[in-house]
């Protein structure tokens, strides 16, 4: 079993990292936290994430393989 990312996974990781660095710096997250906004997240950032297709992203549950007989 390979634990290395394939090209598609590396691309997603890089895109997510770049997006978060550009759109959700720690300062803005602290400001959101301190505002005690009842929504608890930025609708603008969420909308951008949906445009990237992340709203419908699915994640596979890892398969656990037992070596016990």
Between 66 and 33, the higher pLDDT residue: 33
* Residue pLDDT, tens place only, 18-43: 999 999 999 988 998 899 888 888 89
Q: Residue 42 to residues 13, 30, 38, 39, 48: CA-CA distances in angstroms? A: 21, 12, 11, 8, 10
């Amino acid at each position: 079993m390979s634990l290395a990312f394939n090209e598609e996974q590396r691309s997603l990781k890089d895109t997510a990292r770049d997006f978060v660095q550009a759109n959700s710096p720690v300062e803005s997250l602290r400001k959101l936290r301190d505002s005690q906004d009842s929504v608890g997240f930025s609708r603008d950032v969420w909308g951008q994430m949906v445009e990237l297709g992340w709203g419908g992203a699915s994640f596979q549950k890892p398969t656990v393989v037992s070596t016990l007989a």
